[in-house]
Chains A and B, each alone.
Chain A
Amino acid sequence: MEDTKPAVVLLVEDDPGDQKLVKYALRFQQHQSNLQIVGTGEEAIEYLRQCKKGDESTPRPDIILLDLNMPGMGGKKFLQNIKADDELSTIPVVVVSTSDEKQDIEESYKLHAAGYVQKSDNLDKLRRIIQKLTQYWFATSMLVKK
């Protein structure tokens, strides 16, 4: 039986351009997705708090796409917070960042990131990677839901 309920993607990204590019990348997706966008780590925390309360307007994300370099608490701090929360720690977080610094990649995985994607200048490449990753995690989260 095909699950028709769209998968929820929470994008934590401050740059409107990158928000749009991710939106574009998710458009040609086999699986329909419900993209929720917040601009900072603090907003994401607030979103998840609402979602814990069972608010309809803030559905629980199946996957979080996270930028590292953001004003305020930043991606790593957010990652640390969410992984410390027992209820939220199972949500896969894929880091999507401009940085290809070894230090950023290693730290992200140490904080239990589910993947690390470098924002590519090649639109097709970016789209392919984001699609593959989200598909994988959607499938995983669907299994959990069942």
Chain B
Amino acid sequence: MKPKIDMTIPKRRAFSRLIAATSHNMTINHKLVMIIMLTCVATLIIAGGTFTGYEWNILRQLMVMNLSAQAETLAETCKAAVAFDDAEDAKETLSSLKVGPSIVFGGIYDEEGKLISAYYRYGSDRGVQPNSVQGDGYRFEGDYLTVFKCIILDGDVIGTVCIRSDLEPLRRMLFSSIKIILIIIGVSLLAAYFISSRLQSVVSQPIIKLTELAKAISEGKDYAVRGVKVSNDEIGLLIDAFNEMLDEIQHRDHALVEANKELEAKVAERTADLEAMIEKLNRSNRQLQEFTYVASHDLREPLRKISAFGQLLAASLSDKLESDDRENLDFMIDGANRMQQMVEALLTYSRITTKGVDFETIDLNEVVKELTSFELAVKIEETNAAVELPEPLHHVNCDATQVRQLLQNLIANALKYQKTGVIPKITICSSVQDDGMVRVEVQDNGIGIEEEQYNNVFTMFRRLHTRQEYEGTGIGLAVCKKIVERHGGDIGVSSVYRQGSTFWFTMPAAQEVTVNAASQSDSQATL
């Protein structure tokens, strides 16, 4: 498993994690704009809030000062009215409060706090009158600011003036300033968005370029390209590191390609060597086969002459020769005849490879039937032999002439190698093997073969018996072996000495017939 570096944000930065989570699928420039905008919004709200709070405070102070000044003026002008307890005069003095649109109540109290005269903006009390009177000062109660001022005459407090104003103008001013602040915030945000959208590319562009480069490299596998460094910050360092990594990859890639080329060249060289060697072997094999064929073919001609003219000579000299000379001539003719048989057999052997034809589907039952009716008919009749097929044989895919030769040789051998006086019994059967080959067995009740001779019987010119015992050239089973090998099969023998032999061989099964045989065995299994 590849080691991975943890790039997540530490747990305690919950807000950062929240932002990271919500912006998971955003592009980096959108992320940057979002972060800048969030920052701007936060700072502007804090600034706006602080300013609004400050302004609220200032406005309140101004209102207190303004109202206090009015109360002080009123306290000065109503001194006489209070001193003489003149309610009418006091009322007149209070009527000057009408000019202040937000003043809802004005009252003049005597030193005990009893109301001498009052001014109501709306004509009556309607709950605007303060519940209690106090010394110099002010208080904010509910929606009102109430200011008290003592009336002092000759150093003695003779009464109190009270003015109460509602906070409506204060609110209006606050709202309008909040409005202005909001407009400023809005415009600022727009400006911030506009500027950040353009300036974020300073940070994001090199990263985006680097990402595109990495993507192009991973898709195009071109490790020769490099990122362009535009700044000396962390991104610049990242591009440097990326380029270094590319250098390293390109270097390795190059080395790998070189090694691969070298390996391919070596493989090609070895393959060429091998091919040349195979070609050479094939050529010498072909030459050998050609030689065998040509030699045996051309040897027949002079041999035939020796044999024919020997016979001619023997006929014309029959009554002129001494018996010893006659015997010598016979030996000569016999030798020539035998050599001719061997050359003939050798020719047959070499024809297996030089004159072989393409494979076709062959019905072995037909082949056996024809062999026993024609080629082997005389021998079978002479020996009174029985050739039996307990079950129909499987079809095979082979060279028709060669499989005929193969079966002919095996059956002929079974007929030939018999104890005198025994009637030959030959059984031929076949089975389909797991590897798709048909195994054919030719079983006889003949003289059998000792186990140590099993392999020797397939060797060319190797004979186990004298010619006096059994005629033959010692090439028949070598021909069989070569035929089977050409078909990619095997050949072998098992035997009980003096009781009989079983020669077997394998041949490729005919495709369609194998299927039939398989389905037959299936249907038998279900029965």
Contacts and interface: CB of A to CB of B under 8 A. Distances in A.
Interface of A: 15, 17, 21, 24, 98, 101, 119-124, 126
B307 A121 contact: yes
A59 B308 CA distance: 30
A121 B308 contact: yes
A98 B308 contact: no
A21 B300 contact: no
Interface in B292-315: 300-301, 303-305, 307-309, 311-312, 315
Given A121-B307, A121-B337, A98 B312 contact: no
Contacts of B308: 17, 21, 121, 123, 126
B355 to A, nearest CB: 8
B340 interface: yes
A23 to B, nearest CB: 11
Nearest to A119: B304
A146 to B, nearest CB: 37
A90 B300 CA distance: 33
A123 B312 contact: yes
Dominant secondary structure at the B interface? helix
Given A98-B301, A98-B304, A17 B337 contact: no
Interface of B: 300-301, 303-305, 307-309, 311-312, 315, 336-337, 340, 355
Contacts of B304: 98, 119-121
14 contacts: A17-B305, A17-B308, A21-B312, A24-B312, A98-B300, A101-B355, A119-B304, A120-B304, A121-B336, A121-B340, A122-B307, A122-B311, A123-B312, A126-B308
Contacts, number: 30
Given A119-B304, A121-B303, A121-B304, A17 B309 contact: yes
Given A24-B312, A98-B301, A120-B304, 17 more contacts: A17-B305, A17-B308, A21-B308, A21-B312, A119-B304, A121-B304, A121-B307, A121-B308, A121-B336, A121-B340, A122-B307, A122-B311, A123-B307, A123-B311, A123-B315, A124-B311, A126-B308
Contacts of A21: 308-309, 312
A21 B305 CA distance: 9
A32 B61 CA distance: 167
Contacts of A120: 304
Q: 10 shortest A-B CB distances, which residue pairs?
A: A123-B311, A121-B307, A121-B304, A17-B305, A123-B308, A121-B340, A98-B301, A21-B308, A98-B300, A123-B312
Contacts of B305: 17
